[in-house]
Amino acid sequence: MDKKKSLELIKLEVLGCLNEKDLESLKMMKEGNEDFPWKELADYQNLVALIPSSLEMKYPASELKDKTAMKLYNIRDEIKAKIDAKKALEAPSQTVEEHLELEEKFVIEEKIEVEEKVFAAAEEGFHINVDEPLTTGQDESFRIVSNFKEKEESKNLINETHDKIETAVSKTAPEKDVIEKIARDFIKAHIEGDIDLLNQSVKKNKILSFIFFFITLILIGALYFIKQ
């Protein structure tokens, strides 16, 4: 009898049309009845979820993906808090000293990595434009959020996402210093030799010009004496 009643209510519940009274009855059956037909409930839940499969497929606008990505980006703080909480739960035994030590090591490794990247870019003559605007094309929609997640794993890079979306200045400042330093080194290593060569060539040209000028003067003098 109980099972029959449960089944009747299940059929209405999966369609979401139980009234308050029946909803309460079903809740009590679920909690208090060991023989509650969970399998049948699952089957009916699956059944109603199959109903929309008979509809003719329609497609949302392609820009919706970008909009969704922006919505997700806007809740990044909430997600970050969840990730932090999750991490804290996963590693409760880590001492403060160990944590600080790891953090320090991580920052150093990160710095080396960034410097290596900048060195490589300078070697290739790659122009790093710090004012480059963020582009959110169709294929990059979720990259904003993706960047955000990756930054979660490397705390220095959190600033990079902020840089792209909100505050270019705060994140780029330390990188700018490094770039300027690299640019100076690059000029020193590759252009200084050229400048020396150029200077020598200018010197040579000056001497030659002086000699030509002197010869011209002698020729003018000679012509003057020949005329007389």
Partner 1 sequence: MAESNSLTDAEIMLKIAGYDSKALEQLYDRYAPFLYTLIKKIVTDKETAEEILSDVFVIIWRQIDQFDFKTNNIYTWLVTLARNKAIDVLNRRGGKMLPDYSDEYEKEQIIPKLSADVAALELEEVLNGKGKMEKALGSLTDAQRYVLELSYYGGLDQEEIANKLKIPTVTVKSKMQVAIGNLMQKLSEAK
In the complex, minimum distance from the CB of residue 79 to partner 1, in angstroms, rounded to a whole number: 6
151 and 160 in contact (C-beta within 8 Å)?
Answer: yes
Among 60, 63, 90, 65, which Cα is nearest to 146's?
Answer: 65
- Rank residues 7 and 189 by Cβ distance to partner 1 and give the closer one: 7
Using the minimum distance from each CB to partner 1, give the nearer residue, 10 or 118.
10
What residue type is assigned to position 140 of the chain?
E
Nearest Cα to Cα of residue 125 among 52, 203, 190, 215: 190
- Closest CB to partner 1 among residues 54, 95: 54
- In angstroms, give the least distance from the CB of 45 to partner 1: 6
Shortest distance, position 42 Cβ to partner 1, whole Å:
4
CA–CA dist 72, 78 (Å, integer): 10
The sign of the CA dihedral 50, 53, 58, 59 is positive
* Residue that is written with structure tokens 């294929």 in the block: 139
**Closer to partner 1 by Cβ: residue 50 or 96:** 50
CB of 89 to partner 1, least distance (A): 11
Q: Which is nearer to partner 1, 51 or 226 (CB)?
A: 51
Gap between the terminal Cα atoms of the chain: 145
Task: Give the nearer residue to partner 1 in terms of CB position, either 13 or 175.
Answer: 13
* Minimum distance of partner 1 from residue 81's CB (angstroms): 11
Is the distance from CB of 11 to CB of 44 less than 8 angstroms? yes
To partner 1, the closest distance from the beta carbon of 166 in angstroms equals: 18
Footprint of partner 1 (CB under 8 A): 8, 11-12, 14-19, 38-39, 41-61, 64-65, 67-68, 71-72, 75, 78-79, 82-83, 138-139, 141-143, 145-146, 148-149, 152
Q: Which one-letter DSSP state was computed for residue 191?
A: I
Contacts for 28-32: CB closer than 8 Å, 24+ residues apart: 29/2, 29/5
